[in-house]
Structures are given as C-alpha cells and as structure tokens.
Amino acid sequence: EAGVAQSPRYKIIEKRQSVAFWCNPISGHATLYWYQQILGQGPKLLIQFQNNGVVDDSQLPKDRFSAERLKGVDSTLKIQPAKLEDSAVYLCASSLGGVGENIQYFGAGTRLSVL
Amino acid sequence: GNSVTQMEGPVTLSEEAFLTINCTYTATGYPSLFWYVQYPGEGLQLLLKATKADDKGSNKGFEATYRKETTSFHLEKGSVQVSDSAVYFCALSGDQAGNQFYFGTGTSLTVIP
C-alpha cells in the first residue's frame, strides 16, 4: 500500500514570496491533516479536512495560509506571502476517519526555509 | 482546552537500561492517547495507542497505560536498544474520531552501546 506522498521535499524561498505544498493521502482515507513542525517543537495542527470539507482550521493563520482539498483526495497548502517565522517542516497526514479510525499516517514532510 | 505536556530531553541511556518518558495531558471528554516515534531521517509513525482509561498500549517492547486519575500516559521500555534512538512524541485526540489532535514537544532519546 502506498503511503502519504508529499512534494516537494525541500523548498527555499525569500520572504514575501509565495509557496505551495502538495499532499496525496493514502487511498480511501477520508481525513487529511496539515501540520507545521518548527525545529525543536512538536507538530502543530494547521487544518483538518474530512473529505473535501474543513473540520478544523482554528490554528491556521488565515491572513497568509490557505489550503484546499477540492475533490476530497489530494490537497495543497499555500503560504502567501511567506515570513521568516514560517521556516518549518510541513507535514501531511491522513486517516480513515470516523469513530475508532483515528490512527494518522504521515508523509515525509516538506522542509521550508524562508530567507 | 486540550494540551499535552511531555518530559523534556534529550535523554541518553546505555543499552539495556530502563526507559521512562513522562507525558501528562489536559482534555475534556474522552480523548484517545498516542505515542508517535520519528527515527532519524524518517517520518512520524505510530508506536502505540490507547482509547480509554486503564487501556494499555504496547508495541516493540514499549508500553504506556492510560491513567485518567493522574491524566498521564507515560512511555516505558524495560531494556532499550541502540535502534530505539529516535524522537518520541506524545499526542492526544480530543475524541475517538481523530479530531482536535495535539502533539507534545517531543523527547529525543539516544541509546549508546
């Protein structure tokens, strides 16, 4: 079974530029999560989708971050414009979703450096 | 709100030593509790989980018991190996469906031969 795919693996941009990350979850997984992991910290949930609907985006900085999962499968996370403090690893995870189906499977992440 | 507090590291142990990594949580309702592990150069992966009070999760010699009375989910292993060197994250889900997910800050473990 293929795992969660993320691209790119690495990205270096200058502040005020835009960047987008892509995630393809495990086939059949209804729930998709995006996390931000700053060096030395635990992952912080940015947004959670159930199929193509948003379940939780309470910690997403909506003035600069956006995410979509239009067809309920793959998803993109965008930052526009980027700030220095956005330097982090962006993790995508998926789960089957539903009661008792809460094990998350993680992709390898995208490491973003904002200069 | 929900949160997870995890023992700070780094932790360095000799091979075959006993390991405890402390984790306490704050949550309303009926959370599920997890330990995730990140080996060097790899992504996060589930180590073990427990879904209700007094449940014990176990995997690869690691164990953790969901203690509602002390709001804890400490990770233990009786005899660590060099291959256990990794970063360990305690996490909780605010409900049984994987919503309101929170991670601790992670504890780095290094096991020396």
> pLDDT tens for residues A69-99?
988 899 999 999 999 999 999 999 999 887 7
For the residues of B87-103, what is the DSSP string, one character each?
EEEEEEESSTTS-SEEE
**Residue B46 at interface with chain A, using a CB cutoff of 8 Å:** yes
- Minimal C-alpha gap between B71 and chain A (Å): 20
Mind telling me how many Å the CA of B102 is from chain A's nearest CA? 7
What pLDDT, on the 0 to 100 scale, is given for residue A40? Answer: 86
* For A109, nearest residue in chain B (alpha carbons): B43
Selection from B73, B37, B70 nearest residue B56 by Cα:
B73
Name every residue whose Cβ is closer than 8 Å to that of residue A44 and which is 6 or more positions away in sequence. Answer: A35, A36, A37, A38, A59, B103
DSSP B5-62: EE----EEEETT--EEE-EEEE-SS--EEEEEEE-TTS--EEEEEE-STT-EEEETTE
> Using CA of residue A100, residue A101, residue A107, residue A111, what is the dihedral sign?
negative
Choose among A42, A55, A101: nearest Cβ to B89. Answer: A42
Q: Does any CB of chain B come closer than 8 Å to the CB of residue A106?
A: yes
Dist. CA B82–CA B80, nearest whole Å: 7
How is residue B16 written in tokens? 């075959």
Q: Tell me the three state secondary structure of residue A76.
A: strand
CB-based contact A31 B44, cutoff 8 Å: no
Partner B contacted by A53 (CB < 8 A):
no
Q: Is B53 on the interface with A (CB under 8 A)?
A: no
Q: Of the candidates A75, A71, A100, which has an alpha carbon nearest to the alpha carbon of residue A25?
A: A75
Interface touch B32/A102, C-beta < 8 Å: yes
Q: Does A45 touch chain B (CB under 8 A)?
A: yes
For residues B33 and B50, give the distance between their C-alpha atoms in angstroms, rounded to a whole number.
Answer: 5
How many CB atoms are located within 10 Å of the residue B97 CB?
Answer: 19
Q: pLDDT in tens for each of the 113 residues of chain B?
A: 788 999 888 999 999 999 999 999 998 888 899 999 999 888 899 999 999 999 999 999 999 999 999 999 999 999 999 999 999 999 998 776 667 789 999 999 999 99
Task: Find the closest chain A residue to B89 by CA distance.
Answer: A42
Give one word for B87, left, alpha or beta, with left for phi > 0 and alpha for psi -120 to 50.
beta
